């Protein structure tokens, strides 16, 4: 027996380039015939689990005096207006250093994604939690675990140096040294020179892939049930 839970949602950190679960022009697999893009889903479909799924990932909150915000620009204006410094909050941790807060965000995101992808078994009830769902059925848990693993396999970290793309970090470093151009870490359409930010992009992309796979599977299951 499986108890359904709402698909997870995440808030985008404003410290790095924000991106929704889908690219703006990418079709939402849950909308009829994929007609709605992510941008349209954000604006028109508040119940779309794909559009909403970013809201559960760890985020950075910016505190200035007695005020707090999720927007870095707003925090900057508040700090300038009040003549105060910004305190960065990641979960229950507080940081005065932006770099340390960013690193904490990356670690928290990786841990969140790892917990989402791997089954957690309660020794008392015997219930397994996987992909945001709880089930007492070992076959269902195994199926979900496999679905999550397959989804993550579609996500890759590659490298780019100038016009050259490669999968090997050593080859990328060699190309960068020879050409004098920076080595970029690439995850999907996201590119960055920062290895730490690349880790964040990779974790988010894995989560994105898992949520999309789960949404498609649930949509198919609902359609099969309706037909039978």
Q: Which positions ≥6 away from 34 have C-beta within 8 Å?
A: 27, 28
β-sheet with 164-166: strand ranges across = 164-166, 158-161, 184-187, 190-192
The string of pLDDT tens digits covering residues 123-163 is: 999 999 998 889 999 999 999 999 999 999 999 999 999 99
d(CA 3, CA 21): 25
Higher pLDDT, 7 or 56: 56
Task: Choose the weakest-confidence range: 33-47, 109-123, 138-152.
Answer: 33-47
Q: What is the mean pLDDT of residues 181-199?
A: 96
Cα 56–chain centre separation: 9
Separation of first and last alpha carbons in the chain: 19
Higher pLDDT, 45 or 222: 222
d(CA 27, CA 9): 18
Q: What pLDDT, on the 0 to 100 scale, is given for residue 166?
A: 94
DSSP string for residues in 202-226: HHHHHHHHHHHHHHHHHHHHHHHHH
The string of pLDDT tens digits covering residues 43-55 is: 555 556 666 777 7
Coil, strand or helix: which one is 40? helix
* Reported pTM: 0.78
């Amino acid at each position: 027996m499986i108890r359904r839970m709402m698909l997870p949602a995440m808030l985008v950190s404003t410290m790095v380039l924000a991106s929704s679960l889908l690219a703006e022009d990418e079709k939402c697999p849950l909308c009829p015939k994929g007609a709605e893009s992510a941008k349209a889903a954000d604006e028109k479909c508040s119940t779309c689990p794909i559009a909403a799924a970013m809201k559960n990932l760890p985020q950075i909150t910016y505190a200035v005096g007695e005020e707090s915000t999720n927007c870095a620009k707003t925090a900057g204006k508040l700090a300038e207006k009040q003549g105060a410094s910004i305190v960065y909050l990641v979960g229950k941790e507080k940081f005065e250093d932006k770099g340390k807060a960013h690193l904490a965000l990356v670690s928290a995101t990786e841990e969140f994604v790892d917990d989402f992808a791997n089954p957690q078994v309660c020794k008392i009830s015997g219930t397994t939690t996987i992909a945001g769902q709880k089930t007492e059925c070992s076959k269902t848990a195994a199926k979900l675990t496999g679905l999550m693993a397959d989804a993550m396999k579609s996500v890759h970290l590659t490298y780019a140096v100038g016009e050259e793309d490669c999968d090997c970090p050593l080859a990328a470093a060699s190309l960068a040294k020879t050409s004098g151009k920076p080595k970029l870490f690439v995850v999907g359409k996201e590119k960055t020179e920062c290895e730490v930010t690349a880790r964040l992009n990779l974790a988010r992309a894995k989560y994105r892939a898992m949520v999309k796979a789960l949404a498609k599977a649930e949509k198919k299951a609902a359609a099969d049930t309706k037909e039978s």
